[in-house]
Amino acid sequence: MPRVVPPQELDQLVTLISYAPQGTDIDALSHKLEGTVARRTLQRRLAQLVEQERIRMQGEGRAVRYHVGAPPGTSTGLAVRIPEPPQGTMPIYVRTSAEGEEVRAYVSQPRQLRRPVGYQLEFLEQYHPNHTAYLPQNLREQLHSIGRPPEDQALAGTFARDIFSRLLIDLSWASSQLEGNTYSRLDTERLIQYGQAAKGKNALETQMILNHKQAIEYLVLNPKNARVDSGTVLTLHALLADDLMADPTAIGRVRRRAVGIGGSVYLPIAVPQRLEELFGIVVSMAADIKDPFEQAFFLMVHLPYLQPFEDVNKRVSRLAANIPFIRHNLCPLSFIDVPPQAYVEAMIGVYELNRIELLRDVFVWAYERSCQQYVAVQRTLVQPNIFRLSNRQALGEVIAAIVRQDKAATKRTIKSMMPASLPVADHERFVELVLTEFKSLHEGNCVRFGIRPLGLAAWQRHRLRSK
């Protein structure tokens, strides 16, 4: 079964091609990659990039050359090394700070020009929960202001549950797309809602989407599961990695062997005992962080940097980053429309430089984008009438009795049929509720009260005659 191509490997090809303004051929690319990619594999990846319109191909046969950027004679207004996306697609990058641009400039270099590095314990040791801050105070205040729900809701996870159906699709799709998954959002919606796998997609892509669905449901449908602790992180890995790893015993546990990261010169820790120890420290430090945004960002930085699992580390970090938002009833982070290149380069900046500025730019941009989506959606939701909800059975019985007994819907009639269990303080409110329901009662909705349309029509005729 073919594996999903990591987005950073495709991004690396685009970068290499961008350094040849006159274009380059497959032999030159193979040489730059130092033979690490088989020729047939390289051909398939180039064809995929051409199909995605990230690069263009000129010539035929041995004369084929690959280019980045617009065809000669056109102007895009963009740097040559970044192709303009097709009209109507996501932006090619996020808004970046000067520090973020420095990180980007370094990681955009070909892999062979970057210095190999290992895990730097100092990066973790320099962080002190609630004293160190990756996100400045003014930025955290800004994020709090845009992430707060429109209404004051005390229960954890209320915001996420209000928009659950949409979040389930958006987060499953966007997080999978950052891993190179080619499902469209519409394909994802059909899979999640109707169980219809998209045609032409391999089983790994379908499984990746379904695993996201299961992990999101685990956190959102029962907010008690949304805890920052080792058990929760391991559970998220088990859900997200289900049926996607060659070694089933590696699912849901800290890895026991060395791993590498495609497209990066970073070499994660290989000693299992040390890895297990640091995993506990990272999660414990995250749990101590009080501010939900700082806590979320810390998880996005240090879980992938540690690489505690054989695979699926970044997916775990993106789901774990939503735990603080669920616990504090803030707008969730869906990663919707995040450009894969920006996210990948930001993570490489953490891996190879221990610099968080570009990832911070991505995080802030992504959260603002999520809020634009979900705060607007949440404001349009009609909040349920709690009084009606708690008295719906009595409401239905009274309305049905009035129609079947052919009585007039008056205050006196309603009071005579009111259940004895209803508190006296609620009598007037219940009467108004019944009268309001009668105003909107018609043949199309009367069945919800157990009334037949013909019976309602007969009652309405009698009421007209009695006036």
At 259 the pLDDT is 92
At 85 the pLDDT is 40
Report CA-CA distances (Å) from 200 to 21, 48, 275.
Answer: 34, 14, 39
Could you tell me which CATH class the domain 98-380 is placed in? mainly alpha
Report CA-CA distances (Å) from 236 to 36, 365, 437.
Answer: 32, 25, 45
Would you kindly state where each structural domain of the chain is located, as residue ranges? 7-67, 98-380, 386-465
Q: Find all residues with CB under 8 Å of 281, minimum gap 6, and list them.
A: 124
When computed from its CA atoms, the radius of gyration of the chain, rounded to whole angstroms, is: 28
The residue among 84, 166, 142 whose CA lies nearest residue 339 is 84
pLDDT in tens, 42-57: 888 888 888 877 888 8
> Which residue in this structure is represented by tokens 């449908």?
221
Question: Contact 266/117 with Cβ under 8 angstroms?
Answer: yes
CA angle 4, 6, 12 (to 5 degrees): 140
Query: Residue 120 is encoded by which pair of tokens?
Result: 């730097």
At 126 the pLDDT is 96
> Which residue in this structure is represented by tokens 């719906």?
392
Q: Find all residues with CB under 8 Å of 319, minimum gap 6, and list them.
A: 171, 175, 212, 215, 216, 219, 236, 240
At 20 the pLDDT is 66
At 78 the pLDDT is 29
Indicate the DSSP class of residue 267.
E
At 6 the pLDDT is 64
What are the beta bridge partners of residue 117?
266
At 446 the pLDDT is 83
Give me the CATH topology for the region 7-67.
Answer: Arc Repressor Mutant, subunit A (1.10.10)
SS3 134: coil
The span from the CA of 325 to the CA of 321, in Å, is 8
Low-confidence ranges of the chain (pLDDT < 70): 1-8, 19-22, 34-35, 69-92, 149-162, 375-386, 467
